[in-house]
Structure 1
Amino acid sequence: MQPQQPDDDPATVLAGYRPPSQLVQDKEIDRIDEHCRAFIELSPFATLATADADGWPDVSPRGGAPGFVRVLDEHRLALPDRQGNNRVDGLRNVAANPRAALLFFVPGVEETLRVYGTATLVGPDALGLDLTEFGRAPLSVLVLQVRRAYVQCAKSVMRSRLWDPAARVERSALAPFGRVLRDHCQLATPMPADDVIRAELAEEL
């Protein structure tokens, strides 16, 4: 094993960053205030970050109608789990390691919202709420006890041009999803055409 070079030392690399401003530090709060609530109620998409008992991370996309994540009160969020691929990696992680985070996006808004806390998994009727969406009740509900929340500045979304129509990528730039599945799974037979796959997915929303 070769000795670590000075520019490979994490402490040396991190020392190259200037300290965060006081404003950046002070914007972190320990609850869901009116501004966080408004953001969540407009958000149709979020990513859920979890880690297993050994610390291996997982991040998964979650989506629904705007406000699909419910604000129960200043310190609790409810994320219904919808029909998916049944891997439930994130939910298994929460059962072993309750630390979790959500990153919320609102189409057209360049800021994002980050929320951290500890999560528990409950049954679909545990909260006494009607969580039906697309005609289906959730299979479970993740309840996040909020520890930290803050609005992230717009720089990353501005750089990515995420909401810029001129930056849209045509689906044809990538291989059809069916071909990707066939290659990744080493299937001998072709998968259905993408429009057939999408139609089947739409029936399971």
Structure 2
Amino acid sequence: MKIGLYFGTFNPIHIGHLIIANHMAEHSDLDQVWMVVTPHNPHKKKSTLLDDYHRLHMVHLATENYTNIQPSDIEFKLPQPNYTVHTLAHLQEKYPKYEFSLIMGEDNLNSLHKWKNYEVILENHDIYVYPRLNAGDMDEQFANHPKIHRVGAPVIELSSTFIRNSIKNNKNVVPMLPSTVWEYVEHNLFYKK
């Protein structure tokens, strides 16, 4: 089974995340997409990042009706700060019959060369790249790389930061969130301050 890993803080998860995840699950050769919730880095200032389990719960709520999109808390169990290369090694050991790939936006691909052991990631894992506005030119070493697959997913310019700021300013964000996520955010008064 081929699994695409879509990493994020999902603070909160929004319809843009679901559109990308669903597009990858439906229009690529990936069998499933796992939404990997990135835990709070204990060495960084907390800022507006909700507790790990609130964010994981929102991903559960958002994906409960998608059979090929699953939430994952795999990084919650790994030492912090964590690196993607370590997460991939851990997953490969835990699920030896699965083939793991990464899902990322073009903007993240442009900084891949700064990731810890990025050559090891590229050697052992495919990367599925979705388009982003203002991503800039693709780094030459990645432009024709056999492990990098560009997927013509919809361009979604919606950010969790924009949603949090909108909630703080009493703006209506209902169309931007799955209804179950909106209800959870509203019930818990998240992002109001």
TM-score of Structure 1 vs Structure 2, range by shorter chain: under 0.3
Higher strand share: 1
Higher helix share: 2
The structure with the larger Rg is 1
TM-score, normalised with respect to structure 2: 0.23
**Bigger relative contact order, structure 1 or 2, given CA contacts below 8 A and separation 6+?**
2
